[in-house]
Structure 1
């Protein structure tokens, strides 16, 4: 199951849970109104058939409320199944065409390269960033200047922002990236992630080519809460020795990359710690499947933060 599918499933489950809460609230409100009406209604002494009418008037709205809730939940399940079927058919079609879902993406890492300055300086500061980018693609400046006041991003929005747009037509990812750049903390993280991804791509290490097996979400929560080394060794799942060796060599021999990498690791770690307080652990695992998250896993493994690295970074 892909990261996007996991986010969509979480959102669908949350929506169905909200429907149950709405149904329970509407039922409680109706019962309260019925009790109030019974207390205020005059006692005319006519028992008999009026009791049956009363019970019918009490139960029928409740039945209608829960019929509506059941219908809405069934519709949500049908939509989810349709999306899964559509994704399965697309995957089967890709395999029938002989294409690999990840082969078309190695061109994606250069995308951040068009939106960031030359990777020679240390981690860019928020203030000088607009002045350092006129010679590149002007779209990055528009993403910053046109952004509204910072708002809390949802899990899917944060996923798209950390994964970077696949191109100028990826409008949803561009919208989420605008929202993220309006937050100073997220803006620093994303710029550092773009620098790291671009520098690694320059050495032939592409995030889309890294195979990262599914990991235990609770391990990511443990990591976000401060666990390091062997306690979270199950997160060191990258087996691409070339990528690990290249990252280790860059950390040892390239001072600029080492500074940018430590800056990026620090900000991504803070993001995980903040999200661990109020998000489902599955969200943490999904965020680490983005291009930024893959870079974080690679560098964390290379530096020994996950217990299996070579302690490549030296200061």
Structure 2
């Protein structure tokens, strides 16, 4: 993974050095002022131990505040550099993904009938098998270095901010794999578009579901057979997601693209993982978006008009 331009990194390091130099200069100036005051100021006869203690605190406290500010500024610059590297990496991966998906998926609208396409079993949707070019891209192949369950959880949950170093590390590992990178980008797009309509994944209550049901779902069960996985009861969120699926063609394509890739991940993981992992992945921000959209499209037995239309097209 390429990092930022060396010139930008050098500029950031120079900025951190300047902060250090400013802190040293301010400290030196303060000590000079203290020395002048001690030499030419009024004599402190009879101050006693309390007076000297107060004087010492008055000298040291400003120095402590100066170096606390220096440390904070240098840490902030480091976090900003890391955040810019992550944004640059995501932008590069998005650019590569657009090119690859243009080659491999020339008709994204044809993927709308998702529930019927996956009703059979674990293998990907038939259109994937019919397109020989997709096989060469290895969209569904596992990463060269498989992520641990904890790393996969953090990557799908996204970092909470620049200070969430562990999640950033896991996200970088996930983006190094082309298949996972497509899933991560699709999840980010869905979460961002939903947030634009006031639907936030952190605010969705997702009660714990039976891991056995997630195994059943990953093995191909759909509709009423896994209806107990439809645990989101936020009617406003469900209505917003349904309205976006019906009225926004761009969101509909992005949503089905995301559903397809998350479904493939679950199908792949069910073959070599404990069902508890599947249940844990469903609790991430990406997993909550998946449950919300799966309910809105009828994959979990809560069929609406969108699901009916998808099943009719798939039949």
| TM-score, normalising length: structure 2 | 0.54
Which of 258, 262, 271 matches 1:264?
Answer: 258
Instruction: Report 1:97-112 matches (<5 A).
Output: none
2:226 aligns with one of 229, 232, 235: 232
1:210 lines up with 2:204 in the alignment: yes
Contact map agreement 1:162 1:190 (CA 8 A) in 2? yes
Q: Given the alignment, which residue of 301, 305, 309 partners 2:299?
A: 305
Of 97, 100, 108, which residue of structure 2 is paired with 1:126? 97
Whether contact under 8 Å (1:150, 1:179) holds in the other structure is no
Which of these residues, 195, 200, 203, is aligned with residue 194 of structure 2? 200
Deviations 1:189-241 (A, max 9, x none): 00000000000000000000000111000000000000000000000010000
CA distance in 1 between partners of 2:200 and 2:87 (Å): 17
Partner Cα separation in structure 2 for residue 115 and residue 283 of structure 1 = 28
Q: Identify the residue that residue 219 of structure 1 maps to in structure 2.
A: 213
CA 1:276–1:166: 2 relative to 1, 3 Å = same
Residues 1:249 and 2:243 are matched in the alignment:
yes
- How far the C-alpha of 1:246 sits from its partner, in A, is 0.3
Shift in Å, 1:151: 1.5
- In structure 1, what is the Cα distance between the partners aligned to 2:279 and 2:202? 17
CA-atom RMSD in angstroms: 2.3
CA distance in 1, matches of 2:264, 2:233: 26
The Cα shift of 1:309 comes to 3.2
Shift of 1:272: 0.2
Q: Provide Cα deviations, 1:71-117, integer angstroms capped at 9, x if missing partner.
A: xxxxxxxxxxxxxxxxxxxxxxxxxxxxxxxxxxxxxxxx9xx959x
Q: CA deviation at 1:126?
A: 1.6
2:164 aligned residue (141, 145, 170): 170
Trace 1:1-80 onto structure 2 (pairs within 5 A).
none
Decide whether the 8 Å contact of 1:162 with 1:293 is kept in 2.
yes
Q: What secondary structure, in the 3-state scheme, does the structure 1 residue paired with 2:306 have?
A: coil
Q: Which residue of 1 aligns with 2:271?
A: 277
Q: Which has the higher helix share?
A: 2
Q: TM-score, normalization: structure 1?
A: 0.54
Q: Using the alignment, how far apart are the partners of 2:305 and 2:272 within structure 1?
A: 32
Structure 1 gaps, min length 5: 1-110, 117-122, 130-148
Cα distance 1:276–1:258, how it changes in 2: closer, same or farther (>3 A)?
A: same
Q: Does 1:151 align with 2:122?
A: no
Per the alignment, in what secondary structure is the counterpart of residue 312 of structure 1?
Answer: helix
Report which structure shows greater RCO (CA 8 Å, sep ≥6).
2
Structure 2, unpaired ranges of 5+: 1-82, 89-93, 101-142, 311-315
Cα deviation per residue 1:26-70 (whole Å; 9 max; x = unaligned)?
A: xxxxxxxxxxxxxxxxxxxxxxxxxxxxxxxxxxxxxxxxxxxxx
